[in-house]
């Protein structure tokens, strides 16, 4: 089944976090994951998070939609006409929607948006060294590894290399 992405509304952000589950792959320190894993939805914090994300300059936040349901979020951050680069981030809502190809599809749609709508020439992304699932997808999309910083592997996709 195909998914789509659309600019995230406040209501969609709430839908996302009402059923959100933390993922151990984004925690280097498993003690922190143990503390965070029983995530409890908080409407006020979700509103604050939405306001913060929307206010970020050069930020484009999308809801990943399967039919009429939110199943994740994908972001293109810090885009500027000077650098013509943005940063890709993605998080699916919970385990029930992971491992079904949706994350890969969402990343592809965001990459297309960055190059074809924003006019980006390159996209940066990074993931924790242990997050081999994310790295596998990035490499499939044509991202090239270029280094490590503070425990993260860093990748860049040039427009000419998009898959
Ligand atoms: C990363 C994420 C967006 C991927 O979305 P998804 O829907 O779960 O992934 P998909 O089903 O589209 O694809 C997973 C791919 O990784 C592969 N994979 C799964 N586990 C893996 C692992 N431990 N190591 C390497 N590859 C792995 C799968 O085989 C599949 O590849 P294939 O299609 O070539 O067979 C999602 O898992 C997620 O939200 N994770 C938590 C947040 C996160 O890590 N964000 C990214 C970096 S900050």
> Which mutation among 136, 142, 143, 155 tests ligand 1's pocket best, with the greatest number of atoms within 8 A of CB?
136
Is residue 125 within 8 Å of 155, Cβ to Cβ? yes
Can you give the pLDDT at residue 21? 96
Q: Which CATH architecture fits 4-125?
A: 3-Layer(aba) Sandwich (3.40)
The CA-CA-CA angle for residues 88, 12, 19, to 5°, reads: 90
Can you give the pLDDT at residue 1? 80
Can you give the pLDDT at residue 64? 98
Element (H or E) spanning 29, and its range? none
As a whole number of angstroms, the distance between CA 103 and CA 91 comes to 8
As a whole number of angstroms, the distance between CA 123 and CA 88 comes to 7
pLDDT, block means (10 residues), the chain with 163 residues: 95 97 96 94 98 95 98 97 97 98 98 98 98 98 98 98 92
- Strand residue runs (E) in 53-100: 60-66, 69-77, 85-92
* Domain definitions of the chain by residue range: 4-125
Can you give the pLDDT at residue 60? 97
Q: Which atom of ligand 1 is nearest to the CA of 23?
A: 41
């Amino acid at each position: 089944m195909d998914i789509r992405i659309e600019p995230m509304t406040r209501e969609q952000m709430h839908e996302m976090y009402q059923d959100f589950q933390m993922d151990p792959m984004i925690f280097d320190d498993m003690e922190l994951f143990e503390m965070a894993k029983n995530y409890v939805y908080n409407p006020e914090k979700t509103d604050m998070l939405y306001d913060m994300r929307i206010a970020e300059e050069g930020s484009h936040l999308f809801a990943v939609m399967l039919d009429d349901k939110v199943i994740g979020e994908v972001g293109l951050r810090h885009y500027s006409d000077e650098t013509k680069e943005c940063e890709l981030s993605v998080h699916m809502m919970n385990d029930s929607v992971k491992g079904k190809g949706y994350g890969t599809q969402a990343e592809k749609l965001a990459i297309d948006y960055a190059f074809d709508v924003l006019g980006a020439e390159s996209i940066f992304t990074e993931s924790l060294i242990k997050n081999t699932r994310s790295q596998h997808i990035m490499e499939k999309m044509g991202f090239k590894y270029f280094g490590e910083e503070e425990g993260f592997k860093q990748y860049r996709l040039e427009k000419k290399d998009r898959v």
